Structure 1
Amino acid sequence: MSADIAGRSGPFDDLRTLLDDLPGPDEEARAATRARDLSLTKPPGSLGRLEGIAEWLAAWQGRTPPRVKNAMVAVFAGNHGVVAQGVAAYPQAVTAQMVANFQAGGAAINQLCESFGFGLQVFELALEVPTGDIAVEPALSPRDCVATLLYGLESVPTDIDLLCIGEMGIGNTTVASALAHGLFGGEARDWVGPGTGLDEAGVAHKAEVVAAAVARHGPEAGGDPFEILRRLGGREIAAMAGAILGGRLKRVPVIVDGFVASSAAAVLHALGPGMLDHCLFGHVSAEPAHGRLLETLGKAPLLDLGMRLGEGTGAALAAAMAKAAADVHGGMATFAEAGVTDREE
């Protein structure tokens, strides 16, 4: 965060204060996990990224061995005024219909949570009051944006050991594209894709809407990531950013889902270095701009399965890998315990 932005006063002051004293990783727990890994009955490094995931869990949970016994998927749902610009393939009513489907247990994320034994919480964010149409006005008032960030922060329980972030919202890939364009520049078309199924003409129109929105709001935002979020974002995106921050404050490691969830993480990344050190990114989605956004954030996704559903589905699949990493690390015998000769003996 630049000195110019850090020195401003305004509605986001209390949140900026929180950023000044964020907890860091527990390096003793990380080192102890690495040391135990070297004693396990396998060649060093033979489990690849699973070994690094175990160390990451230990560092951010502050314990060794790490564990994933109480993971939660949080799905935040919001509606967007920009849908009036014809940027979505589905009507806005689908957001509420899908929330009802989550609550009834009928969505893909329900099945994944059931399969892996994860909890699921769905947060419905004033679906009857869509955000402002970013093509003509800010998405949120300062008060609404701050309140929604804090709502997301407070939504994170203290008794979970892993948090997965997901979303639902017709039109939210347009908003995610506008956020990425507003935060990181480039051309609007670099950040725009088909979303839920736009054709080539629809994608071109979507890029025009994103370009116009950023041109309208960018000068007023003045490079401040919170202001860019307020003007170009959405309620579910603000709540996800708050939840990611809440995970950091409560020492809960976070796995981020696809393009829209990553745009929420991008706001925090733009606020300062290291803001996403407690996060893994579950997968790279088929939405074309997601890979570009992950590269910008300096994050390597765990999975590449061609998915583009949202709902936290990619994050849940990655969380199953994290659970496996913790279970393998904690459950494997050491050379001494198993009576197996270590190659160094």
Structure 2
Amino acid sequence: MSVDSVFESVTGARKAVLPSGLRLPAVLPTADEALDASLAQRLAHDGFPAHALGRLEALVLQLARIQSTNAQSFDLLAFDSPQVVVFAADHGIADEGVSAFSLEVTQQRVLQMLRGRAPVNTLAALHGFEVTVVDAGLASHVVLPEDATRRVPLVVRKIGHGTRNMVLSPAMSITQAVAALHAGMDVVKHLPGNVLALGDVGVGSTSCAALLLSRLCGVPLADACGRDHHQEGGLNNSQLQNKLEKLFAAASRHRKAVTPLDALAAMGGFEIAMMVGAMLQAASERRVVLVDGFVAGAAALVARGLCPAVADYLVFGHRSAEPGHRLLLIHLQAQPLLDMELRVGQASGALLAWPLLQAAQSLLEP
């Protein structure tokens, strides 16, 4: 796979120097050969070939490693008070016409979630998840109509009124990026339970995800924001060409942003940064982290760059219809549980995969 010329300088080693104010939680790897051997015996059944359960067995082992601190004492998987957190933010690059939607759509989608009328609300209610929406950096304040009933809490942790236009300047300062990471950590600290599903909403967010994928993995930008041939609606060919030109301009302007944190600040979003912090904090608390689509996957890419052990705690719920998401999962060496060609976001794909985690739990029951 060839690399775009603007990325040739970033395909080598990336030595990160983190700012002194960044406080990353300690995340322990979960590898445990004794536990794996014990569980393999429990999952084996007479008359069936080895690993008859396929990837479901791998899921059981991953979940057990997350919840076990001692192979001798581990018994059953336990899921307590599962939570969905959807981080919402706007992006200055949307001013460049890189999305088929206007910025107002972000707030519309947030209002739908707050009123309990979005797909994530239906799926969360079905599976017993509590939903929290976080204003990470919406361009305007969220105001419900006087006659509307709020069914979901809104946590305001606004870093700014949308990021800056990354074609003209960094999307955020390093100080803002660190503040967003810490805010994401703090949100998780105040949530109960040991399962966290993460989603996002924000017009222009897939442009950020494509840039982060391209920069941190050396994927050609045209592939990172490629178009599904079966896609209906969205950007037409001329609009897609404009999007590519604007993203190339942003990548060229920030060609020196090669470490995960620098790339996040230069070309990311407030909601992506908060998801990174949420993943790190949840992993430090040995929570299961259900990752949603392309944008949440880009956050996982940054989180892994900051702390490689966080990958042990991430369960990728699905592969979305975004072509870049497929490439991102390949680079993460992650196998998503589902492939439903979803475009909805907001952690809906992560919630659709939840019954597979429940099945993994049941397999260990007597």
TM-score higher than 0.5: yes
Q: Deviations over 1:27-55 (max 9, x none)?
A: 25544433332369977533332222122
CA distance in structure 2 between the partners assigned to 1:96 and 1:41 by the alignment: 55
For the 8 Å contact 1:75–1:121, the answer to whether it is kept is: yes
Q: CA deviation at 1:301?
A: 1.1
When normalised by structure 1's length, the TM-score is 0.86
Residues 193-225 of structure 1: per-residue CA shift (max 9 Å, x gap): 459811222222111111111110122x2x211
Greater CA drift, 191-200 or 55-64: 191-200
Aligned length, in residue pairs: 323
Q: Which has the higher helix share?
A: 1
Structure 2 unmatched runs, 5+:
1-11, 69-73, 141-160
| Residue 61 to residue 135, structure 1, CA distance change in 2 (3 Å) | same
Tell whether the 8 Å contact from 2:88 to 2:136 is kept in structure 1 after alignment: yes
> Which residue of 130, 135, 140 maps to 1:124?
135
TM superposition shift of 1:145: 0.8
Identity of aligned residues (%): 35
AA of the residue aligned to 1:22: V
1:5 aligns with 2:15: yes
Residue equivalent to 1:183: 216
Distance 1:329 1:42, change over 3 A: farther
The alignment status of 1:298 with 2:333, answered yes or no, reads: yes
Report the CA distance shift for 1:327/1:39 in structure 2 as closer, same or farther (over 3 A): same
Secondary structure, in 3 states, of the residue corresponding to 2:99? coil
1:199 alignment partner AA:
N
Return the alpha-carbon distance in structure 2 between the equivalents of residues 188 and 3 of structure 1. 20
Q: 1:69 to 1:294 in 2, by over 3 A?
A: same
In the other structure, the counterpart of 1:25 is 30
Equivalent positions of 1:1-345 (< 5 A) are 5-6=15-16, 8=17, 10-11=19-20, 13-15=22-24, 18=25, 21-25=26-30, 27=32, 29-38=35-44, 45-62=51-68, 63-127=74-138, 128=140, 129-157=161-189, 159-193=192-226, 197-219=234-256, 221=257, 223-271=258-306, 273-330=308-365, 333=366
Give deviations 1:253-294, integer Å, cap 9, x for gaps: 212111111011111233464431211211111111111111
Q: Distance in 2 between matches of 1:9 and 1:299?
A: 26
Which stretches in structure 1 are left out of the alignment for 5+ residues? Answer: 334-345
**AA of the residue aligned to 2:75:** T
Give the C-alpha shift of residue 9 in structure 1: 5.5
268-277 vs 68-77, which moves further: 268-277
Indicate how the Cα distance of structure 1 residues 64 and 204 shifts in structure 2: closer, same or farther if over 3 A, else same: farther
Partner Cα distance (1:281, 1:119) in 2: 19
Q: Distance in 2 between matches of 1:13 and 1:240?
A: 15
TM-score for the superposition, normalised by structure 2? 0.82
Q: CA RMSD in A?
A: 2.4
